[in-house]
Structure 1
Amino acid sequence: MNHAERTSNQEPIVEFRGVWKRFGALEVLKDINLAVGRGEVVVIIGPSGAGKSTLCRTINRLEIIDEGSILVDGKPQPVEGKELYKFRAGIGMVFQSFNLFSHKSILDNVTLAPRKILGQDKARARDNAYRLLDMVGIRSKADAMPAQLSGGQRQRAAIARALAMDPKVILFDEPTSALDPESTQEVLATMQQLAGQGTTMIVVTHEMSFARSCADRVVFMADGAIIETAGPEAFFTEPESERARSFLASVR
């Protein structure tokens, strides 16, 4: 089954409908309409200040939108309280800064939310954490503290932590921008592996090689708007807009 068949006959997992977001007089998101299918990898690229990270952060209400609606798994976002807490638990997030608890071991970082929020017992949470740490290549670091790991290892721990909640979708907001080239490659390899396993991913990144090799669709943003959306081959070889052509020329 090809990707289009896999996603076309299902409700989108994330859907933006006419979304606007303002910071004072500045419009940072302008009439965003976008649907992301289950199992799809959507990579969002564009110049700095395009609104990419803001778009990512609106999905779990880290940023509140001013107009329009965002549906996750067919349902509108809860506004506050327990429902919002539960809603956020179903969305994985991996940021530039790893946001690991510095006073807890890597194993404890990965098991904390499944135990507290999903109510998993200790043994099950540990077994699952070891499996995920093995998958991202850092099982040997389970008992280490975050400060003892390289940046790339910490980011892979953050990915394992996100996966431990069995999320509907994982949001990656420039996950390699704080890393050196070697660590960047480690993290991108892990993300590539996830993409191959059918994980639904929305990725904001400057890594064009990842967009080209792993995306099902590339979304190009500039000045708060989606300028064009295409498959990676079409986008990188024949972008439709002048704005995308000049952006690609600048990153090449």
Structure 2
Amino acid sequence: MSENNTVEQLSPSGENAHHLVELEHVEKYYGNLHVLRDINLKVDKGEVLVIVGPSGSGKSTMCRTINRLETIDSGVIRIDGQALPQEGKGLAQLRAEVGMVFQSFNLFANKTILENVTLAPIKVRHMDRDQAEKEAMDLLARVGVDSQAMKMPSQLSGGQQQRVAIARSLAMHPKVMLFDEPTSALDPEMVNEVLDVMVELAQEGMTMLCVTHEMGFARKAANKIVFMADGQILERGTPDEFFEHPQTERAQEFLSKILTH
């Protein structure tokens, strides 16, 4: 009987039967522009994957395909073993499992901070309002903005708004969090307050894919670094491997530019 259990849980290679996020042979074009070229990627539960590379390398596009904000032309994307549906209810359900934090905060300007965080749990998860508000306040406290709960987004700084956006994503109890350059629209002094929240999430075991230019964060929080250029993954490895011993000339050139300033 134990043998049968093992067969169910393990693949022939002895690994987990499926990964939390999996991209296989993903291709994406914008007209004649080939923006994603044969992308293969696996992310396991609790892993923090940081995606780096020059502008225009396809990092954000890849990140946005994972909850189908961008469609793909071929290949397959799976979340927790389940292929990403094309559309409809199945896609909405799967999207609820995948939190996303963008460059811009995308908060509802006409709703309070508390309402912004409780809206999806009440509407999508059909959570009781009192329960949703209690959880929202706990999350706002976790990201350090619970004192702002009754304010409107316009009354908060950019760093505070981005922390609210993180709390809003966490309110859906996602299996994985996607961060698409979450600090790029912030004033320099606000960057660390957002990165500190992300580091905490990583340390608590949240599965995360982060597109970022913040190399200090990449070094500190990532289990794995993926380096992209020209729509391809050129390198993958631990932070030490990538920063200390980049394998490709493209990665060496990229690091020499960003680490000397």
TM-score range, shorter chain: over 0.9
Partner-residue secondary structure (3-state), 1:103: coil
Match of 1:42 among 37, 49, 62: 49
Amino acid at match of 2:141: D
Partner-residue secondary structure (3-state), 1:178: coil
Partner-residue secondary structure (3-state), 2:93: helix
Where in structure 2 are the equivalents of 1:7-86 lying within 5 Å? 9=16, 11-86=18-93
Unaligned runs of 5+ in 1: 1-7
Residue 180 (str. 1) matches residue 184 (str. 2): no
Shift of 1:33: 0.4
- Per-residue CA deviation, residues 190-209 of structure 1 (Å, 9 max, x unaligned), is 00000000000000000000
Please, what TM-score do these two structures have when normalized by structure 1?
0.96
Quote the Cα distance in structure 1 between the aligned partners of 2:149 and 2:131.
15
Please identify, of 78-87 and 115-124, the stretch whose mean Cα deviation from structure 2 is larger. 78-87
Corresponding position of 1:159:
166
Quote the Cα distance in structure 2 between the aligned partners of 1:11 and 1:207.
30
Residue pair 1:10, 1:37 contacting (<8 A) in 2 also: no
Quote the Cα distance in structure 2 between the aligned partners of 1:143 and 1:203.
30
Partner-residue secondary structure (3-state), 1:240: coil
Over 3 Å counting, the alpha-carbon distance change for 1:182 and 1:131 in structure 2 is same
- Per-residue CA deviation, residues 46-70 of structure 1 (Å, 9 max, x unaligned), is 0000000000000011111001100
Q: Displaced runs of 4+ in structure 1, greater than 3 A?
A: none
Partner-residue secondary structure (3-state), 1:11: coil
Where in structure 2 are the equivalents of 1:71-150 lying within 5 Å? 71-150=78-157
Residue 191 (str. 1) matches residue 201 (str. 2): no
**How many residue pairs end up in the alignment?**
245
Shift of 1:160: 0.1
Quote the Cα distance in structure 1 between the aligned partners of 2:237 and 2:45.
17
- Per-residue CA deviation, residues 111-157 of structure 1 (Å, 9 max, x unaligned), is 00000000100111001000000000000000010000000000000
Please, what TM-score do these two structures have when normalized by structure 2?
0.93
Quote the Cα distance in structure 2 between the aligned partners of 1:237 and 1:127.
45
Amino acid at match of 2:119: L
Quote the Cα distance in structure 2 between the aligned partners of 1:234 and 1:65.
30
Shift of 1:83: 1.3
Residue pair 1:47, 1:222 contacting (<8 A) in 2 also: yes
Amino acid at match of 2:136: A
What is the percentage of aligned positions where both structures have the same residue? 59
Corresponding position of 2:3:
none
Residue pair 1:10, 1:38 contacting (<8 A) in 2 also: no
Amino acid at match of 1:55: M
